[in-house]
Amino acid sequence: MKTFFKQLMKNVPSILILIVFIALTYNFFDAGFLWESGKEIWKKPSILFLILLAYLLSFVLKAIAWKVYLKGRPSFFSCLAGLFYSLFLNHILPVKAGDLARAGVLPARDQHISAEESLHSVFVLRVIDMLCLSGIALIGIFAFHIHYRIPFWALFFVLVISLIALQLLKNRFPIFVNRHVALLKNALSGTNGLQVFLLTLTSWILEAAVLYGTIFALNKEISLTAAVWTNSVTIAGQVFQITPGGIANYEAFMSFALGFIGFSFKEGYTIAILTHGIKFIFSYLAGFAAICIFPVPINVLKSWIRQKGVKGK
């Protein structure tokens, strides 16, 4: 019973988002409108091709950023295969377990990269992802004059808890923490850190092409900056994922974000479903490509997904 309530409290934000999604679906889902919008995109294959190409390039940049972070030691295709496995698994599993598989692919293909280095790099790059997405989202709040205020006490509370957690971790696992701090300093030294950050930031800007191209294909208008902001808010919301591919989270966050910049909820909800559908299709194609590049037995994948990281000594 205690475990049940612990899990329930952990998933409260996700459950609330799921309820919001159900409410949006009940009020704004229009099968006819969705079908006609989908046909409109399908009638413009050149735009659809450019959307998929831009989305692919965003992952190419993420793979390059990963390679740069590890000082060029892994091969580009190992990094890309890891990202594709991660994307695929995140779209078939109810939780974000893909990053664990991503960390497993690299040392399996490039055996001179240790499992600890790989897991460390995936964690740090995920933090950089969230910093980029959060930064874009915060800038957009001011740029689009969105009336939303984060209470100062909430920011202070998060800061204090984070500092306490870091100190406790350092006290409990000093060798582990010092080792990873050394890895971090080495990876981000000189211009290396700037390259990783710019590549990551550009990859998220490119991913916004999915939203921008979809809206353009529907003969509607959105600025590139608004598309980048909306995409960033939507992806940041996937941290609460409890469904394959973040179904519900994606649609809820994008519907509200598009609502802030002038779209109706019906339009925003429909656009969210269409763009998410495109990403699902791409994730399955990416998964097929990853299996071709580096086939992994099911039992090995399961072992990667179940791993809990490298314990400190």
Arithmetic mean of pLDDT, 95-122: 85
Whether the pLDDT of residue 265 is over 80: the answer is yes
Whether the pLDDT of residue 261 is over 60: the answer is yes
Look over the chain and give the mean of its residue pLDDT values, rounded to a whole number: 82
Q: What is the largest CA-CA distance in the chain?
A: 60
In sign, the C-alpha dihedral spanning 132, 284, 244, 271 is: positive
- Percent of the chain with pLDDT strictly greater than 90: 39
3-state SS, one letter per residue, for 247-312? CCHHHHHHHHHHHHCCCCHHHHHHHHHHHHHHHHHHHHHHHHHHHHHCCCCHHHHHHHHHCCCCCC
* Among 9-13, 67-71, 307-311, the least confident range: 307-311
* Among 1-5, 57-61, 275-279, the least confident range: 1-5
Count of beta carbons in the 10 Å neighbourhood of residue 83: 24
More confident residue, 15 or 29: 29
* Among 189-193, 213-217, 227-231, the least confident range: 189-193
pLDDT digits (tens, 9 = 90+) for 66-107: 999 898 899 999 999 999 999 999 888 876 778 888 888 888
Residue 280 confidence class, pLDDT cut points 50, 70, 90: very high
Residue 160 confidence class, pLDDT cut points 50, 70, 90: low
Count of beta carbons in the 10 Å neighbourhood of residue 154: 9
Residue 285 confidence class, pLDDT cut points 50, 70, 90: very high
Rounded to whole angstroms, how far apart are CA atoms 132 and 79? 20
Whether the pLDDT of residue 231 is over 50: the answer is yes
